[in-house]
Amino acid sequence: MSVSRKHMIANMLGFNLGAVPFMYLGCPIFHGKPKAIHFRTIIDKIETKLSTWKGTVLSIMGRVQLVKSIIHGMLVYSFHIYLWPKRLLRLLDSWIKNFIWSGDVLAKKVCTVSWSVMCRSWAEGGLDIKSTRLMNEALILKLAWDFRTTESQWTAIVKRRYFTHGQPIMRYCQSSIWPGIRAHLGTIMANSVWVVGTGENINFWTNNWLGDPLVDLLNLDIDFHAHLKGTV
Amino acid sequence: MNGALRLPAALTSVADIQTRAHEIVLPAGNLPDALVWIHTTDGKLSSKQALDYLRPRALTLPWAEYIWRAAIPPSHSCIYWRLNHNKMPTDENLRRHGCTVVSICSLCLSTDESSDHLFFRCPFANHLWEWISNKLRCSINCSTAGTLLDCRPFQCSSQVSDIYLAAVVHTLHTIWWARNSLRFLEVTPTLHSAKVCIHSFIAMSGNVSTGKCLPSDFVFLDSFAVSPHRRMVRDIVLVLWKTPTAPWLKVNTDGSVIGGYAACGGLFRDHSGTFRGAFVCNIGTHSVFYADNGNHFCN
């Protein structure tokens, strides 16, 4: 879009021209796949919070509580929308781990219970800490589930943009939320069953409404799947 | 459609598909199709269930959930938790992770320090365990951290159960505190001060506890300076019982659950209100709802 056209639209609607990336209600808005650079503001905020807290005067459990109530709260908002880069989440987890054990983000302690054990639930002998990676995955899975099961404006837009013939587009699409949703569509299909109503939205062959998809029951070739379009 | 599925002729020959299709109940009205998550009962997926689905599973441990009680400070429970994972920063564990330290048990100065020695074998710790088990009137098995909590009775009221937990957790905490104050502050804690410390912590936990107790526990709680939390007794309400008409018998039934074990019973009376018979039945581990319903099965 040319600059003059932009200005014309902005004048017409009375908006100010902005540029991505920017923060909207505490959540970064940007083009393309989520990258570490987009979450810099949130990460920096967390780092200052972790290092200025008087971590050393608290007990281990006190610090666990701080992490659970404050740090996780700061993250959860953008976790609902974006699949964060894994490298960034690993970094966050290591900060949190160091903070819990030593009260300092960068100081490593020698004798610590392993991170995976700490992340277990209370009953399994852990501290019920949720690793940021898992939190992110779970919330995106929820987002993908909402996408599949609810009818709203945003699902309609996403369906129009990223689906052809009821199948997700396989090539890369420039979007900040689609990569996350697409990664979990498979999990949802593998763990859900269609309850037949009018049958208009269920693909007779490829959707799972009999307990297993018909194509699997009949061992049909995978290249053939795209041609099967009948509904129940 | 219209109440039954019409399958293409080619598919009806496959028996498996045929039977599966017959099991599907079609709605009478025009309901929309719905996608259902198979791991939940209501078919919906909440964030919590999503997390539960993705979380790696581990075995539940018998002590694990029990140690995190509102009455016990989490920093004290944490020592028990860490000890159970054998990750207390004792000299033995520090050495194992590559620290070169001179190791000697600060409390007895006779041998090198390990988690096992410091918390269970050292004379200082042994004395405290003996003292606390005398006070609890039970024997504490201090061979490993896992067996410490076996001392609590199989069935006891919740406040008493909290006292047992508090005794174990606070004793461990006090041993660790004594070791640290000797090593880092160079203050020598006496056995007496350790006992006073444990006693006051138990009293605090017992008083804070939300558990309730029975009248028979009063003496036990009193020995720890804990004020008993009585169970609320509901007001007794008078109800009317009408006799049945002549040939009929009336049966009144009830069920109850104590400590997971359910039982039910009932009694029969005739038109004049005279007792004609009764039954009781032990139905093993069930819920209250089952116990109440269990009556009808017994009949």
Q: Quick: pLDDT tens for A95-110.
A: 999 999 988 888 888 8
Positive or negative torsion for Cα A167, A168, A172, A173? positive
Residue B13 has a pLDDT of 64
Rounded CA separation A39/A30 (Å): 10
Both tokens of residue B100?
């070169």
Q: ipTM of the assembly?
A: 0.79
Beta strands in A100-183 (DSSP E): 163-164, 167-168
Instruction: With beta carbons under 8 A apart, name residues in chain A contacting B87.
Output: 111-113
Residue B9 has a pLDDT of 65
Q: Under 8 Å CB-to-CB from B22, ≥6 apart: which residues?
A: none
Write the residue in A59, A199, A201 that is nearest to B75 by C-beta: A59
Rounded CA separation B86/A36 (Å): 37
- Residue B4 at interface with chain A, using a CB cutoff of 8 Å: no
Write the residue in B38, B85, B97 that is nearest to A110 by C-beta: B97
Residue A92 has a pLDDT of 92
Query: Is B227 in contact with B221 (CB distance < 8 Å)?
Result: yes
Average pLDDT, chain B: 81
CA A172 to chain centre: 17
CB-CB under 8 Å, B68 with A111: no
Rounded CA separation B28/A231 (Å): 18
- Give the residue among A120, A133, A118, A121 at the shortest CA–CA distance from A61: A118
CB-CB under 8 Å, B36 with A195: yes
Calculate how close chain B gets to A203, using CA atoms only, in Å. Answer: 11
Positive or negative torsion for Cα B281, B286, B292, B294? negative
Rounded CA separation B296/B108 (Å): 65
Both tokens of residue B118?
């410091």
Write the residue in B20, B36, B57 that is nearest to A192 by C-beta: B36
Instruction: With beta carbons under 8 A apart, name residues in chain A contacting B103.
Output: none
Q: Which of residues 62-81 of A touch B (CB under 8 A)?
A: 62, 64-65
Both tokens of residue B10?
């080619």
Residue A90 has a pLDDT of 92
CB-CB under 8 Å, A211 with B89: no
Instruction: With beta carbons under 8 A apart, name residues in chain B contacting A202.
Output: 33
Rounded CA separation B294/B253 (Å): 10
**Closest Cα in chain A to B53:** A138
CB-CB under 8 Å, A61 with B34: no
- Give the residue among B95, B99, B98, B125 at the shortest CA–CA distance from B110: B125
Rounded CA separation B129/B191 (Å): 12
Rounded CA separation A29/A22 (Å): 5
Are β-strands B34-37 and A192-195 bridged in parallel, bridged antiparallel, or unpaired? antiparallel
Helix (H) / strand (E) element for A192: namely: strand A192-195
Q: Cβ–Cβ contacts within 10 Å for residue A29, how many?
A: 14
Residue A232 has a pLDDT of 62
Counted residue by residue, chain B has a size of 299
Rounded CA separation A13/A5 (Å): 12
Q: Which of residues 153-172 of B touch A (CB under 8 A)?
A: none
As beta bridge partners, residue B246 has none
* Chosen from A76, A97, A110 to mutate, greatest number of chain B CBs within 10 A: A110
**Residue ranges for chain A with pLDDT beneath 50:** none
pTM of this structure: 0.76
Rounded CA separation A40/A28 (Å): 10
**Closest Cα in chain A to B48:** A138
Residue A140 has a pLDDT of 93
Calculate how close chain A gets to B270, using CA atoms only, in Å. Answer: 52
CB-CB under 8 Å, A111 with B50: no
Query: Is A176 in contact with A34 (CB distance < 8 Å)?
Result: yes
Query: Is B269 in contact with B250 (CB distance < 8 Å)?
Result: yes
**Residue ranges for chain B with pLDDT beneath 50:** 1-2, 299
Instruction: With beta carbons under 8 A apart, name residues in chain A contacting B59.
Output: 124
As beta bridge partners, residue B254 has B265
- Residue B81 at interface with chain A, using a CB cutoff of 8 Å: yes
Q: Under 8 Å CB-to-CB from B167, ≥6 apart: which residues?
A: B132, B135, B136, B198, B202
CB-CB under 8 Å, A192 with B35: yes
- Residue B197 at interface with chain A, using a CB cutoff of 8 Å: no
**Closest Cα in chain B to A110:** B97
Write the residue in B14, B38, B45 that is nearest to A142 by C-beta: B45
